Structure 1
Amino acid sequence: MNEDKKYKAIKAVAEKRKDKKRACIELGLSMRQVNRLIQEYQEGGKGVFSHGNRGKIAKHAVPKETKKQVIELYQSFKIKPNVKHFTEILKEDHDICYTDTTIRRILYQAHILSPKTQRKTRKKIKARIKAKSMKGKKEVENPLVPRAEDQMELPEKSHPSRPRKKYQGELIQMDASSYNWFGKDVAHLHLAIDDASGNIVGAYFDTQETLKGYYHVLNQILTKQGIPLAFLTDKRTVFEYTSKAMRAVEEDTFTQFGFACHQLGIEVNTTSIPQAKGRVERLNGTVQSRLPVDLELAGIQSMEEANHFLIKWVRTFNKKFGNKTKESIYENAPTKSEINLLLARVANRKVDSGHHIRYQNNYYLPTEDSEDRYFTRRSKVLIIEAFNGNIYVNIAEKIYTTRRLKEHDYYSQEFDSIPEQKKERRQYIPLQSHPWKLESFKRYLRSVGKTLEEYEAEQTA
């Protein structure tokens, strides 16, 4: 189109039907360039306006073999990565160095769509496939021009973007993402992102979206960052609840998490609108497109391995996508022992006729200085399940440790011989290269880019 315009203007000037100055303005060229084009037209005719590379393969075009390799590598993934992530994998593992735009164009030409492809692009690719199948049938275009009034949004439904907070710790957005992260079962990844810096400050896998998962995330924030100012979450039962009959205190999860935040001076805000906490919602999409691929490459199949893998993965993610500000208002966190009790689950109970307390289908007896303490029946008790799993009881404003009662004796004094009292032996912890641990340790070494030989050489050095 541009070549045709240039040809007609220069032809008119050469035939004295147009002034040179007007042609300069029309084509956006200098007088010298116009004179050069006139001379070339008089010598070569219309063909001089065609591009020299037309019909030829570009010098810097991607080779056909490379395109085929890229398509085969992408189709070999069970969990399809997004194009940006796939470009990084090609560069690191296969030494194929192209931009994500080039890789995206190669995949689109093969009608392969990324899981993050937008709806507009999907329609465009489908229309291209349909046009090829029709071959010659004219498509009727809609002559109507859309009006601006038809595209207006109601004010109550609009959610305009807001700027990031200024300081780290000023606002933490939290959410849990349900996805098939690894293996066959669906797991829930609990995430917390700092609104100002864009850093992931807490991440933990669990079977469901639970108080335990958010407690682990809060523990990571306190131990690594400090005490933030506020949380923004959705209206899940962990943070808010709907009143129901026969609700026990330990089921009232808003009291559990809210009480912990209240003790730390953290404000908890909730919303039922996803756009209001768009930072963590967008993070869920980004993590869902990258983390499953990295877990598959690392050979992760269990939740314990996945939580261990998250530690390094989060550091790499923050280095690449976070650290948008360094100014912080995090306050100094409590000690580990204080955090252990702050992130506790509490429940009301009463002492039964056997002088013990039932909790989570187990029976506990209060102890003090390794001696049992017996309280009268129906005495009110507050159970405190610490973050590390230890059980304490609060009776009459005094806290006692507990001893879990056994369901059955290990031996009978009447019918069994008295077992020998063996000395406690120091627990043996096998080396990482022990045959029982070798396969899982090799998977870990592959995830950090080492071999077993390199690890053994470092240990002997």
Structure 2
Amino acid sequence: MTSRDAAEVLSLSERQIKRLKAGVKKEGEVFVIHKNRGRKPKHTIPGKIRDQIVFLALSKYKGANYAHLAELLEEDEGITISQSSVSRVLKAKGIKSSRKHKPPKPHRSRERKPQEGLLLQMDASPYEWIPGIKCSLQRQTILKYGLPVSVYVDRHIIFKTPSNAKLTIYDEFEGKALAYTQFSRAMQELSVGIVYAYSPQAKGRIERLWGTLQDRLVLELRLFAIKSLKEANAFLPGFIQRFNARFAVVPREPQSAYRLLEEHINIDYILCRKEARKASQGSTFSFGGQTYQLSKNNQVVPIPNKAAITVLTSPRFGMRAEYKGGVYEVRKAVRPAKVIPKEDRAKRSIKPIKVKDDHPWKNSGVRPNFTYEESDRELVAAIYDPQGWE
């Protein structure tokens, strides 16, 4: 076989075939074996480090995805290793990533707004970030950055009422054209527009963000043994700084579009639940099966009958009420106990009456299914005729 024929069979160049022939003539058949065969590469991960990574992935950092685990190993354990190396080590032991990536579907992404604060993507999540505690973030965004021009949300009933939702009679009196959720009502009071997404793909950025946070934030809260909202709020700023340093995107225009919250606005009186009520006699109103009164400086605030009142409830301040633009504290109304005069007690005493044998009830053969008593004498006389049934 010529060198050209050998090169064609082995899919090599003629120059390579000639080099192999010369080497075999000089050193024998062992020349064709690669010189690194059986030798470990210089950059190979030591077996002790591999075992440590596997142990940490199954214990301390259980639930972390490959990328997050590589970061935690470098920050907390002093082990500098790439995400791909972490992936190879764990896959070799049959340990899969906590996040399963599905094949991407073709979809045109929404173009990013040029300024920060023009469009704030939001989502609702029932996820328990702290075991046993469900919470959400909104107040801190407004206080730190300001009010966005608009928010981008899906059509969940938290953000948008169903199409068949009806207005309350109070909304109709005020001339409202549609029913509000607590969220949409708060956004209207803050003059923040709402843009609704009509598909999950349209708001893919926030959906991916939620998935990333559910991987990273929950694990780090557990690592720092955080079990309360107070501890979580203290931990959050540092986490956000580290998170943004890795994932944040710089806007095309540096000027922010967030609007500062006006000083006279109490954000707690907007980010709360509001329910309409009507005042009753005695400057009282009912809420949750209880009767309340407005209070200011430990004095009852008089309000006319059928006056419109808005009840505000929030974990931050409990319960208060809004009346004519002012927000007041509330207290339970104390009603005096009913006392029956002695003469009325005697009149209301019940004495059974014996029915005579010649009474029409007995003659007609019809018996009432209740006890005829003294207090019912006038009522019975008005209903029944002595000769029989009316």
The answer on 1:378 being equivalent to 2:306 is yes
Query: Residues 311-366 of structure 1: CA distance to partner in whole angstroms, max 9, x if unpaired?
Result: 33222211222142344222232226443444454332122233212234554323
Where is the helix percentage greater, Structure 1 or Structure 2? 1
1:239 aligns with 159
Return closer, same or farther for 1:113/1:248 CA change in 2, 3 Å cut-off.
farther
Distance in 1 between residues matched to 2:325 and 2:140, nearest whole Å: 30
Shift of 1:255: 4.5
TM-superposed deviation, 1:299: 0.6
Show the 5 A alignment for 1:169-318. 169-183=117-131, 185=132, 187-188=133-134, 190=136, 203=137, 217=138, 219-242=139-162, 243=164, 254-318=180-244
What residue is the counterpart of 1:391 in the other structure? 320
Q: Matches of 1:180 and 1:398 in 2, distance apart?
A: 37
2:320 is matched by which residue type in structure 1? I
Determine if contact 2:292/2:331 at 8 Å carries over to the other structure: yes
Equivalent pairs, count = 325
3-state SS, counterpart of residue 239 of structure 1? coil
The question of 1:64 aligning with 2:47 is answered yes
Q: What letter is aligned with 2:125? A: S
Q: CA deviation at 1:224?
A: 1.1
> Counterpart amino acid of 2:70?
T
Give the whole-Å Cα distance in 1 for the aligned partners of 2:81 and 2:130.
Answer: 29
Corresponding residue number in structure 1 for 2:281: 353
Q: Which runs of 5+ in 2 are unaligned?
A: 172-177, 337-390
SS in 1 for 2:180: helix
Alpha carbons 1:176, 1:189 under 8 Å: kept: no
1:113 alignment partner AA: K
2:91 alignment counterpart:
108
Distance 1:237-1:249 versus aligned 2 partners, 3 A rule: farther
The alpha-carbon distance between structure 1 residues 303 and 384, as it changes in their structure 2 partners (threshold 3 A), is: closer
Report the 3-state secondary structure (helix = DSSP H, G, I; strand = E; otherwise coil) of the residue aligned with 1:235: coil
Q: Which amino acid aligns with 1:44?
A: E
8 Å CA contact 1:350, 1:357 repeated in 2: yes
* Larger CA Rg, structure 1 vs 2: 2
Q: What secondary structure, in the 3-state scheme, does the structure 2 residue paired with 1:254 have?
A: coil
Choose 307-316 or 102-111, whichever is displaced more: 307-316
Q: For structure 1, which runs of at least 5 residues remain unmatched after alignment? A: 1-10, 121-150, 191-202, 204-216, 410-461
Aligned AA (1:404): R
| SS of match in other structure, 1:268 | strand
User: Sequence identity, in percent?
Assistant: 27
Equivalent residue for 2:175?
none
Partner of 2:246: 320
The aligned residue for residue 123 of structure 1 is: none
After superposition, what is the alpha-carbon deviation per residue over 1:171-218, rounded to whole angstroms, capped at 9, x for unaligned?
1111122334333x3x5453xxxxxxxxxxxx3xxxxxxxxxxxxx0x
Amino acid at match of 2:23: E
Following superposition, the deviation at residue 113 of structure 1 comes to: 0.7
Deviation at 1:168, TM superposition (A): 0.7
Q: Is the 8 A contact 1:169 1:328 kept in 2?
A: yes
Equivalent position to 2:112, from 164, 177, 184: 164
Aligned to 2:340: none
Query: Counterpart of 2:113 in 1: which secondary structure?
Result: coil
2:128 and 2:135 in contact (8 A); partners too = no
RMSD (CA atoms): 3.7
TM-score by length of 2: 0.70
Q: Does 1:99 align with 2:82?
A: yes
Find the aligned partners of 1:18 and 1:166 in 2 and give their Cα distance: 62
SS in 2 for 1:177: coil
Amino acid in the other structure paired with 1:313: F
Which amino acid in 1 is paired with 2:159? F
CA 1:76/1:388 → structure 2, altered by over 3 Å: closer, same or farther?
A: same
Q: Does 1:405 align with 2:332?
A: yes
| Cα distance in structure 2, aligned partners of 1:382 and 1:286 | 39
Give the TM-score, by structure 1 length.
0.60
**C-alpha displacement of 1:272:** 4.6
Distance 1:374 1:117, change over 3 A: closer
Inter-partner Cα distance in structure 2 for 1:239 and 1:345? 14
Match of 1:339 in 2: 267
- In 2 relative to 1, CA 336–68 (structure 1 residues): closer, same or farther, beyond 3 Å? farther
**CA–CA separation in structure 1 for the residues paired with 2:101 and 2:327:** 59
